[in-house]
């Protein structure tokens, strides 16, 4: 009887941790270093990432993160979620590439720039494609936070 109870508790715990989403913070995403790398096809330098072990563990894991929406091109569903609002985001020189994440929503949403949102999606690392962010959330859903 006692053994069955222990097994049941362990199975519930394993199911919840293996199948559930993992809530992360922007601090989690700071486990990265960058180096300048020359890209001859663009004739310029870009920061290329070296991701830490904690980020590699998140690869292909469904995560939850809270941040500010940067509405880049809503007609093509291109959104970013940022640690900071637009006026102090990465593009304005107020943070590094680790403070933004590309979001690929499953359906078109009507978020506006600087809306505070909670986003859920499958976390992907991108260290090779300079046309996309270093962090990408695929199959994402989101909800507007009450401010």
pLDDT at residue 110 tops 60: yes
Distance of CA 127 to the CA centre of its chain: 14
Q: Does residue 35 contact residue 96 with C-beta atoms inside 8 Å? A: no
Domain 21-144: which CATH number of 3.30.930.10, 2.40.50.870, 1.10.10.10, 3.40.50.720: 2.40.50.870
Q: Coil, strand, or helix at residue 62? A: strand
Q: What is the pTM of this model?
A: 0.82
pLDDT at residue 113 tops 70: yes
Q: Coil, strand, or helix at residue 140? A: strand
> d(Cα 92, Cα 132) in Å, to the nearest integer?
18
pLDDT score at 95:
78
pLDDT at residue 18 tops 70: no
pLDDT score at 86:
79
> d(Cα 137, Cα 11) in Å, to the nearest integer?
29
For residue range 88-102, what is the model confidence (pLDDT) as tens digits? 776 666 678 899 999
Return the domain boundaries, the chain.
Answer: 21-144
């Amino acid at each position: 009887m006692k053994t069955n109870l222990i097994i049941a508790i362990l199975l519930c715990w394993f199911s919840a941790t293996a199948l559930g989403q993992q809530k992360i913070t922007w601090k989690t995403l700071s486990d990265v270093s960058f180096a300048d790398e020359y890209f001859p096809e663009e004739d310029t330098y870009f920061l290329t990432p070296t991701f830490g072990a904690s980020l590699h563990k998140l690869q292909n894991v469904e995560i939850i993160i809270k941040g500010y929406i940067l509405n880049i091109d809503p007609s093509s569903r291109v959104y970013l979620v940022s640690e900071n609002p637009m006026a102090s985001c990465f593009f304005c020189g107020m943070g590094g590439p680790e403070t933004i994440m590309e979001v690929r929503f499953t359906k078109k949403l009507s978020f506006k720039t600087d809306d505070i949102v909670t986003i859920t999606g499958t976390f992907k690392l991108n260290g090779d494609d300079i046309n996309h962010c270093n962090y990408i959330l695929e199959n994402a859903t989101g909800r507007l936070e009450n401010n």
